[in-house]
Structure 1
């Protein structure tokens, strides 16, 4: 269970006692031992020891450069830019198929991309706790070396025409490097900017989007100049030098830079006059509530320490909020990884066939789409700092629901500019989800758990790309084999329908995510069935039972119709209400008052 702490530890259920945790008996058998090690690995993150005391104690690049936060984020952008070359893999498909199989339409090189995405997600999920417990110079350098090694193996695979070696080299090895390098870079940047996590992580992830745009042109030029093997060797060397250099500018922030856990309340929240008076009476303080300089804040209430929820990795991964948000993230990214990844083919089939010519070439549309992807990552991260993570995330999914519902109209009527506008907006939402999710996880589960949680979240990206991609291609292939042409709008609209269903479900599940410590600790109402926060307001459904008991003896003169009416009134009623800001604040103050009393009583008993 996560714990609520100020000076003393208080459980989320209100209890004080911390029971000693007894180690379970050592299991017998190799399988059980491995299982226990895995459970221990994902139970708690061991943070690095001997962290510096201040920023002046941190030296970068072999001790030659003083540490500054802006240096960390620039290094992160450079690393992410090179990792973004993954999204330019489609440039290699036709040349590789032509070289190995003698047919550009062999459709074998495309499998490499799906393997890389799969290993990126699984490696990130497996390495998350390890990344969190080791220095970022080590983790980013290992990611860089794996990414470089995968490129070298890919060069050998294309030189000797071995598709299996290509799958292993770029798909497995480079995919593993991507998973480690991506998560460790974003984790460091998020830790250095606690007050603007959304903007910082969004800027870093925008580097990934920029790389996907730039390398589409770079790879094409390199293939024409050096050939396939030479291109992989050249790219590998460039990435080794640049990424290894940027890894030497990575460092964790000093002790005290971030709050150890999830903050329950902020510095600027104050109690009402009534709350201050009650707290003063209970704690034995005689203060004039009309004097501004004596205003009691939550910070003062908890002995000058901010109340914090300390969440272990096991409790984070085992919470319903984690998996609800996981599915919401999958829903938000599904449209991008499945539908928009086939954008060039769709434009060619829908708007450049049967004598029609689109106003923009497919390459131009895809380039603009990449710009929206990059802009969404950065700007939505900034807005999530202002609007709140959950509000911003729900907005992204909600906009996608509207867009996916409208795209079939533009496809059926072949309205080019309408179609492009819808797709670009959906791409903005797709990128925005990647930009704000690291900060979202840090806010919900603490900065010490960010790498582990973020790594597991990337499996949603892999699941959407592989599972969704296979489903999309399977439906498309079946419809075309049944006699429909590739320019038939029905093919694309059918795929939009199942995507829309998943996105709607993701929106509904995200509504129930308790995104803040306040939401997780907020006291339940009597008879409460459900409580959710939507765009900053609390809505709750409660069960209200009439006080008239149908089994109570009734006086002889009471009419039988009255008794029947009373029986009907006894059945529970449901009450749906929206709490005002004043009601929510009053209930929250009462909760904190109770915690303050319990904490003070525990201190007196000790």
Structure 2
């Protein structure tokens, strides 16, 4: 759906302009503070395994609990943020995430780990993620794609700032001291930022939303009865599943392709690719969000999703070339991570802002389904066929199908939608 670019309203005061950018920075800080429980988890698995005297599979259940609670409770978390406001709920979420680290440092059994790291970090990060996204689509009606992309990128980039300090402290002070110190720091930093968050009020003369955006607010119950929502849900599920198939098995198929240890620019291809991919996975969110603010959500979806399909295809055709593997994997992640800016902005454009946080909570469940399907399906298909090629065939098909659906079905369906 082409979206007309709306210039910043002349009625928006300098104070309001400053306030909404301040809100964006505060949201970015809060998102960065909750990224480590997911993205730095892998650094702690060996320590937990040794201390609790159990196997890796049992330890990894903790991570699954975090993801499931973060995504599948998101409608409830979004409802609470809509009802009680972002300041208190997001501050509580940041503190819960930090508390999960602090308390997990003292557990002596698996159940304790599940109920500390799994429960507190899962619920806490979910509240913050959903709350911040819901807040940004309200403060930036004219730049929803860019604003949601920025804070979503913060969730990915936050771990870049903490990975090396955490790894260093782990080696020198042990995992328990590291969990306590960083749990306290990240919890306090996130909560402090959250205490200055607020919803836009009547006095905030914000610029209008694009001409094609909905001027009516659709409640969750009515949204769930609409075909356009379920089309978006299926599309996001397909993109999440395909992307997580790659993420979860990235190291495995790079080793099978024989490129993991090949030197590229003086570095082994696998860690180099993982580093570059993390950067492009973050950059794509504000970039394609910004693009979608100018050329339309569905047009941008088609470009990004079909670009990912092409990149995966070329990466597989030249899978024995380490340099191509590193470069194309970066393009693959650049074509995937933008789902976290395009889908929330499209949803709010369609169903309005009053229930934006709760509504996105329902859509965000698609990421939870993708996390459950992606890794296991890829592994099962590889085990059954003895090859990664069928897995990548599915990924390419999902990318192409979702890109085509964006233009051929979602675009006219959104245009015709009337609540």
Query: TM range, normalised to the smaller chain?
Result: 0.7 to 0.9
Would the alpha carbon gap of residues 450 and 419 (structure 1) be closer, same or farther in structure 2, given more than 3 Å must change? same
Residue in 2 aligned with 1:440? 346
The 5 A counterparts of 1:76-475 are 76-85=27-36, 86-101=38-53, 106-157=56-107, 160=108, 162-255=109-202, 257=204, 308-351=215-258, 357-359=262-264, 360-361=267-268, 362-411=270-319, 414-475=320-381
3-state SS of the aligned residue for 2:355?
Answer: helix
Summarize deviations over 1:584-603 as a string: whole Å, max 9, x none. xxxxxxxxxxxxxxxxxxxx
3-state SS of the aligned residue for 1:342?
Answer: helix
Contact 1:213 1:367 (8 Å CA) reproduced: no
CA distance in 1, matches of 2:248, 2:35: 15
Contact 2:141 2:208 (8 Å CA) reproduced: no
CA distance in 2, matches of 1:378, 1:264: 21
How far 1:92 sits from its partner (Å)?
A: 1.8
How far 1:327 sits from its partner (Å)?
A: 1.5
Would the alpha carbon gap of residues 442 and 83 (structure 1) be closer, same or farther in structure 2, given more than 3 Å must change? same
Summarize deviations over 1:248-273 as a string: whole Å, max 9, x none. 1100011275899987659xxxxxxx
How far 1:120 sits from its partner (Å)?
A: 0.3
Larger relative contact order (C-alpha < 8 A, sep ≥ 6)?
A: 2
Would the alpha carbon gap of residues 515 and 250 (structure 1) be closer, same or farther in structure 2, given more than 3 Å must change? farther
How far 1:430 sits from its partner (Å)?
A: 1.6
Higher Cα radius of gyration: 1
Could you tell me which runs of 5 or more consecutive residues in structure 2 were left unpaired when the two chains were aligned.
1-11
Deviates more, 1:383-392 or 1:334-343: 334-343
- As a proportion of its length, which structure holds more helix? 2
Residue in 1 aligned with 2:402? 506
Residue in 1 aligned with 2:20? 69
Deviates more, 1:177-186 or 1:340-349: 340-349
Contact 2:228 2:417 (8 Å CA) reproduced: no
**TM (normalized to structure 2)?**
0.87
Summarize deviations over 1:190-238 as a string: whole Å, max 9, x none. 2111111111111111111111333332331221122122121112101
Would the alpha carbon gap of residues 255 and 262 (structure 1) be closer, same or farther in structure 2, given more than 3 Å must change? same
Contact 1:261 1:310 (8 Å CA) reproduced: no
Could you tell me which runs of 5 or more consecutive residues in structure 1 were left unpaired when the two chains were aligned.
1-53, 59-65, 267-306, 480-489, 522-606
Contact 2:242 2:398 (8 Å CA) reproduced: no
Contact 1:338 1:472 (8 Å CA) reproduced: yes
CA distance in 2, matches of 1:336, 1:456: 20
CA distance in 1, matches of 2:72, 2:242: 21
3-state SS of the aligned residue for 2:350?
Answer: helix
Contact 1:377 1:432 (8 Å CA) reproduced: yes
Residue in 2 aligned with 1:497? 393
Would the alpha carbon gap of residues 380 and 55 (structure 1) be closer, same or farther in structure 2, given more than 3 Å must change? same
Residue in 1 aligned with 2:4? none
Would the alpha carbon gap of residues 423 and 57 (structure 1) be closer, same or farther in structure 2, given more than 3 Å must change? closer
Contact 2:308 2:333 (8 Å CA) reproduced: no
**Pairwise CA RMSD of aligned residues?**
2.9
How far 1:408 sits from its partner (Å)?
A: 2.5
Contact 2:95 2:188 (8 Å CA) reproduced: no
How far 1:119 sits from its partner (Å)?
A: 0.6
Contact 2:41 2:63 (8 Å CA) reproduced: yes
How far 1:118 sits from its partner (Å)?
A: 0.7
Deviates more, 1:209-218 or 1:173-182: 209-218
- As a proportion of its length, which structure holds more strand? 1
Would the alpha carbon gap of residues 381 and 56 (structure 1) be closer, same or farther in structure 2, given more than 3 Å must change? closer
3-state SS of the aligned residue for 1:453?
Answer: helix
Would the alpha carbon gap of residues 473 and 115 (structure 1) be closer, same or farther in structure 2, given more than 3 Å must change? farther
3-state SS of the aligned residue for 1:513?
Answer: helix
How far 1:349 sits from its partner (Å)?
A: 4.0
CA distance in 2, matches of 1:258, 1:56: 10
Give the paired residue count: 402
Would the alpha carbon gap of residues 498 and 459 (structure 1) be closer, same or farther in structure 2, given more than 3 Å must change? same
Would the alpha carbon gap of residues 446 and 259 (structure 1) be closer, same or farther in structure 2, given more than 3 Å must change? farther
